[in-house]
Amino acid sequence: MNGVMLLLVQALLYFGTMAAIFRARGALGIGVFVCALGVMHFLETYLAAVFFIELPFGLISPGSTVLFSGKLVMVLLLYIKEDAVAVRQPVYGLLIGNMLIVAMCLLLRFHEPVSLAGSRPDIGFIDQMGVLMVWGTLLLFVDSIMLVLLYERIAPWFGRHQTARIIVATALVLSFDQLAFFAVLRLVTGVPMAALFGGWAAKMGAAIVFGLMLGAYLRLFEGRSGAGEERPLADLFDLLTYRRRHAALVRGAGRDAGTGALAEHHLLPIGGARLRRAQANGRPLGLVVLEVMAAPGHGAVPLRPLAGALAMSLRADDLVFRHGASGFALLLEGMPPAAAAMMAERLRHLMQERLPPGAPGAPVPRVHLGVATGQGGLEEFGTLLRRAEAALRSARHAGPEKPPQAA
């Protein structure tokens, strides 16, 4: 019984910490949550390979029961409150990072290490861990897709009972994972069969405990979960595996010859598609319009370096369009009003620093920004664009030292 209580304490500690980080994503950024999710992957795999405790129903590993099961529930939370695009980030990052670990360990074999105090590195153990980490991450990729698809597929069976839906989807995926991971674990380390049945029983308990905690967290702290409901499974699979129809639209969009940004005539169709996606997910879409005002009597400011600096400063899914004679428009997905205004102010300073210096004592070019955020309502993208342009005009008349205007 003491072992079960310790597992419950570990589960509470894990979920409470991760949920607190996720809850603070508006202030900290979602990257902190993703980093915390991935940083324990080695410990999780190590414990799953070598650290077992005996309970009445068999041998179990806390790494597999608590850390991996908890990670899978966190992936589901990320999907429910963010979207399928966000789910891919930790999974692909872990896969690439673990493959890099294996490659680095292979290269370590060409070194001749020095013995210190009679100890030498155990390369064989590192090899075992590398195999298990890559296999575990491949399973995490499959598990994540299965979990999200199952969560959506069984939605009609549970109606408004979201917690039961979470528990059933998690239990099914953890059952598959237990069989698949144990097969390779037994091959690599020779663990006994008691770990298969004990681990499965423990993971079913973990599905119930973590499912109850996630359901309570969603009701108490997150409100209605708009993302991840009533979404076609084919479209969802495209999102999870990087085959996005919207990405094809962006790839096919022409570039502005003068700046390298996306051409201005693509702003309305792509912006409309992103706003509709934001509305379907219940998430905001930030729009920033920016203009560079040349000093009187001076020539036009070169915009291509500024476009490149903007693209490098934004997230991977954010887009930069040419807009007007001397400006750009930026689409920022999932960006609430306060965060969009903060990013706009940071970009304004960045652009100001990148402007070419003028003659000594001459007026310098100025950067003005206008910000608007669609809140997932019924407005058209054209309305959002007009609000951002109105905010830009207000910023232009407010003077160079005013912060970006939001509408």
Residue 227 is predicted with a pLDDT of: 41
Q: How many CB atoms lie within 10 A of CB 27?
A: 9
Rounded to an integer, the average pLDDT of 132-161 is 85
Structure tokens at 217: 């967290």
| Burial degree of 22 (CB within 10 A; 0-12, 13-18, 19+) | buried
Of 372, 382, 381, 379, which is closest to residue 405 (Cα–Cα)?
Answer: 372
pLDDT over threshold 50, residue 50: yes
Choice among 47-51, 199-203, 267-271 with the minimum mean pLDDT: 47-51
Residue 166 is predicted with a pLDDT of: 95
* Backbone φ, ψ for residue 358 (5° rounding): -95, -170
Of 283, 281, 169, 215, which is closest to residue 19 (Cα–Cα)?
Answer: 215
Q: How many CB atoms lie within 10 A of CB 259?
A: 22
* Backbone φ, ψ for residue 51 (5° rounding): -110, 110
**Which among 11-25, 255-269, 337-351 has the top mean pLDDT?**
11-25
Residue identified by tokens 């342009």 is: 389
Handedness of CA 350, 353, 356, 359 (dihedral sign): positive
Helix, strand and coil content of the chain, in percent to the nearest 5, comes to: 65, 10, 25
Rounded to an integer, the average pLDDT of 20-41 is 84
**pLDDT band, residue 94 (cuts 50/70/90):** confident
What structural domains does the chain harbor?
2-110+122-237 (no CATH), 261-406 (3.30.70.270)
Residue 1 is predicted with a pLDDT of: 55
**Which among 163-177, 284-298, 366-380 has the top mean pLDDT?**
163-177
Of 380, 376, 381, 253, which is closest to residue 322 (Cα–Cα)?
Answer: 253
Distance CA 192, CA 255 (A): 59
Beta-strand runs (E) in 215-360: 285-293, 319-322, 327-333
**Alpha-carbon dihedral angle through residues 82, 86, 91, 94, given to the nearest 10 degrees:** -120
Distance CA 383, CA 7 (A): 53
Distance CA 138, CA 92 (A): 9
**pLDDT band, residue 240 (cuts 50/70/90):** low
Tell me the pTM.
0.60
* Backbone φ, ψ for residue 286 (5° rounding): -90, 140
Please name the helix (run of DSSP H) or strand (run of DSSP E) that holds residue 306, with its range, or none. helix 304-313
